């Protein structure tokens, strides 16, 4: 792959990752609630889901999902329901006193799984990658190596961006530690998750 083509792909990945989404909301929310180090576990879950998406696309199943209205609809509604569930949970959490971070860390064993599901149950991501990656693939060259290079680039960029969001949230956290502020933030992030669930449910296959 030519360096100029890879740099173009790299820049596109940065734009793709910077665009606010459920992963962004999860990374910031986790960092504020349970700290940066624990939020990294959630980012690992997000990246495992992204790797799963890349494998689906590289195996050609992304095109199948794009052409199957039934599969798209099922995954879309399951993902939307899960986002709404997380959002409602955070809103209800806001009615209680904020957890001490050391206690919250103990309760984050399922964080990787939760973030994996958040990212995994988004059919629009798979369809986007299925349409996006082939534009940078040269059919005259080894396909596996090209998909590997592109996949590693996507995951690397997205990891850096999510870590950046989580780090910025951790820097701001000392100024947001009052109980009333944390309750308000939980309501805000809960509402954002619910909103993203509604948007996902309304998404059309393209």
Q: Is residue 146 part of a domain?
A: yes
Residue among 52, 50, 49, 48 nearest 61 (CA): 52
Say what the pTM is.
0.77
Stretch 109-133: mean pLDDT: 84
Q: Is residue 163 part of a domain?
A: yes
Residue 24 clears pLDDT 70, i.e. is over it: yes
Q: Is residue 15 part of a domain?
A: no
Q: What is the pLDDT of residue 71?
A: 72
Position 4 confidence tier, pLDDT thresholds 50, 70, 90? confident
Helices (H), the chain: 3-18, 22-34, 36-58, 61-67, 69-93, 101-106, 111-120, 123-132, 143-172, 179-202
Instruction: Tell me the per-residue pLDDT of 146-190, one tens digit each, with 9 for 90 and over.
Output: 889 999 999 999 999 999 999 999 999 887 767 777 778 778 878
Residue with tokens 């199948």: 64
Q: What is the pLDDT of residue 106?
A: 45
Position 206 confidence tier, pLDDT thresholds 50, 70, 90? low
| Residue 13: partners with Cβ closer than 8 Å, 6 or more residues away | 153, 154, 157, 158
Q: Is residue 17 part of a domain?
A: no
| Residues spanned by the domain of 36 | 3-7+22-202
Position 51 confidence tier, pLDDT thresholds 50, 70, 90? very high
CB 163 within 8 A of CB 26: no
The total number of structural domains in the chain stands at 1
Q: Is residue 127 part of a domain?
A: yes
Position 102 confidence tier, pLDDT thresholds 50, 70, 90? very low
Instruction: Tell me the per-residue pLDDT of 57-101, one tens digit each, with 9 for 90 and over.
Output: 888 766 666 677 777 787 778 878 878 887 887 777 666 555 444
The DSSP output letter for 137 is -
Give the Cα-Cα-Cα angle 19, 92, 94 (nearest 5 degrees): 75
């Amino acid at each position: 792959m030519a360096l100029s083509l890879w740099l173009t792909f790299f820049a596109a990945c940065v734009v793709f990752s910077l665009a606010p989404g459920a992963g962004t909301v999860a990374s910031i929310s986790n960092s504020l609630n349970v700290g940066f180090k624990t939020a990294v576990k959630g980012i690992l879950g997000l990246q495992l889901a992204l790797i799963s998406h890349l494998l689906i696309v590289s195996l050609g199943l992304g095109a199948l999902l794009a052409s199957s209205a039934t599969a798209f609809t099922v995954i879309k509604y399951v993902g939307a329901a899960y986002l709404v569930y997380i959002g409602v949970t955070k809103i209800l959490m806001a009615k209680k006193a904020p957890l001490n971070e050391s206690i919250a860390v103990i309760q984050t064993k399922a964080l990787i799984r939760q973030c994996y599901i958040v990212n995994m149950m988004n059919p629009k991501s798979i369809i986007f990658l299925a349409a996006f990656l082939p534009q940078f693939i040269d059919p005259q060259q080894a396909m596996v190596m090209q998909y590997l290079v592109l996949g590693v680039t996507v995951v690397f960029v997205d990891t850096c961006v999510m870590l950046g969001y989580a780090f910025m949230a951790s820097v701001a956290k000392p100024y947001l530690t009052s109980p009333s502020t944390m309750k308000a933030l939980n309501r805000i992030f809960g509402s954002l998750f619910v909103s993203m669930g509604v948007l996902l449910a309304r998404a059309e296959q393209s």
